[in-house]
C-alpha cells in the first residue's frame, strides 16, 4: 500500500509539472499615446477599446505615456507596439534607437490615426508608418474603397465602406506600402491626394511588421464593430498571427 501511494503521488506530481510547463504566457502589447502637439480626446476610448479586445482575444495590454519604457529590455517583452494618436516629438534619440532596434529584431508596430502626425524630424519613423500627416478637412462622411480584402484587417469589410471620421491628407507616402483601403475623394470635400489616396496599409519593414490606419479620430469610432475588427486584424498581423 505504501509503494502504491508513493507511485500515485509521483504520477500526480508529474502531471502537475507537465501542465505547469505547458502554460504559455499571454502575449503583451504596448500602447503608447504620448502627445506633444494636438491631443485627441478619443485616446481614453481607444485605450479602452484595445483593453476590451485584449480580454476577448487572450492577450495583455500595457498603456503608457512614459517614454522611458522605450529601452531594449522593456520593448523585448512586447509582441507589438501601438502608437495611438501620438503627436509631435515623443521620443528622444536613445528611445528612437530602441524602437528601431526592436523593429530590426522582428518587432511589430501599429499606428492609429495621428501616429502619422509624429516624429517629423526622424525620417526612419516616416518610413515605419508609411507617410506623414499633411492636413485634414472638416470631419464628415466619406466612402472608402477596400482594395484588398485578403488581409486579416479587411477581410470582414464591405468593398465600399461608408463612415464618419476626420480624413487625413498625407505627404511623403512611401511607395513600399501595401495599400488596403483608399479614400474616394469624390465622396467628400477636402481631399488632397487625388485618385490614389490610401488610408490604411501594411508592410514588412526593416526586419519587422507594420500596419497603419488613418481611421480613429472620433470617440465613436472605438465602438464601431467593423472598425474594432479592423484594429484587431491589424494588430494580429503585426504580432505575426494569421
| 49-106 pLDDT, tens digit each | 999 999 999 999 999 999 999 999 999 999 999 999 999 999 999 999 999 999 999 9
Q: What is the pLDDT of residue 6?
A: 44
Q: What is the pLDDT of residue 12?
A: 54
Predicted confidence (pLDDT) per residue in 145-191, tens digit = 999 999 999 999 999 999 999 999 999 999 999 999 999 999 999 99
Assign 201 to helix, strand or coil: strand
Given a cut of 60, whether residue 119 has pLDDT beyond it is yes
- Does residue 148 lie in a domain region? no
- Does residue 150 lie in a domain region? no
CATH code of the domain containing 111: 3.40.50.880
- Does residue 179 lie in a domain region? no
What pTM was computed for the model? Answer: 0.91
| Mean pLDDT to the nearest integer, 200-212 | 97
Distance CA 216, CA 227 (A): 8
- Does residue 13 lie in a domain region? no
How many folded domains does the chain comprise?
Answer: 1
DSSP string across 121-169: T-HHHHHHHS-EEEE----EEEEEEE----STTTTTS-SEEEEEE---E
- Does residue 64 lie in a domain region? yes
- Does residue 147 lie in a domain region? no
Give me the chain's average pLDDT, please: 93
The answer to whether the CB of 211 falls within 8 A of the CB of 241 is: no
Range of the structural domain that residue 226 is part of: 26-132+198-238
The answer to whether the CB of 177 falls within 8 A of the CB of 200 is: no
Q: What is the pLDDT of residue 4?
A: 44
Assign 2 to helix, strand or coil: helix
Given a cut of 50, whether residue 7 has pLDDT beyond it is no
- Does residue 77 lie in a domain region? yes
- Does residue 141 lie in a domain region? no
Distance CA 90, CA 64 (A): 12
Q: What is the pLDDT of residue 18?
A: 53
Amino acid at each position: 500500500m505504501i509503494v502504491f501511494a508513493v507511485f500515485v503521488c509521483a504520477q500526480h506530481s508529474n502531471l502537475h509539472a507537465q501542465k505547469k510547463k505547458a502554460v504559455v504566457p499571454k502575449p503583451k502589447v504596448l500602447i503608447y499615446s504620448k502627445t506633444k502637439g494636438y491631443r485627441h480626446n478619443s485616446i481614453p476610448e481607444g485605450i479602452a477599446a484595445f483593453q476590451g479586445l485584449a480580454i476577448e482575444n487572450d492577450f495583455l495590454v500595457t498603456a503608457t505615456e512614459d517614454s522611458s519604457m522605450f529601452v531594449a529590455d522593456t520593448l523585448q517583452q512586447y509582441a507589438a507596439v501601438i502608437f495611438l494618436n501620438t503627436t509631435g516629438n515623443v521620443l528622444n534619440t536613445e528611445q528612437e534607437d530602441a524602437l528601431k532596434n526592436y523593429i530590426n529584431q522582428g518587432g511589430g508596430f501599429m499606428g492609429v490615426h495621428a501616429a502619422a502626425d509624429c516624429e517629423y524630424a526622424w525620417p526612419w519613423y516616416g518610413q515605419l508608418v508609411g507617410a506623414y500627416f499633411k492636413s485634414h478637412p472638416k470631419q464628415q462622411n466619406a466612402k472608402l474603397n477596400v482594395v484588398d480584402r485578403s488581409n486579416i484587417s479587411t477581410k470582414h469589410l464591405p468593398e465600399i465602406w461608408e463612415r464618419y471620421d476626420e480624413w487625413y491628407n498625407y505627404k511623403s507616402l512611401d511607395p513600399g506600402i501595401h495599400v488596403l483601403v483608399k479614400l474616394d475623394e469624390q465622396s467628400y470635400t477636402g481631399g488632397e491626394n487625388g485618385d490614389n489616396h490610401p488610408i490604411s496599409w501594411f508592410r514588412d519593414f526593416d526586419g519587422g511588421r507594420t500596419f497603419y490606419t488613418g481611421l480613429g479620430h472620433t470617440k465613436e469610432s472605438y465602438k464601431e464593430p467593423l472598425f474594432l475588427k479592423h484594429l484587431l486584424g491589424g494588430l494580429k498581423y503585426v504580432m505575426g498571427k494569421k
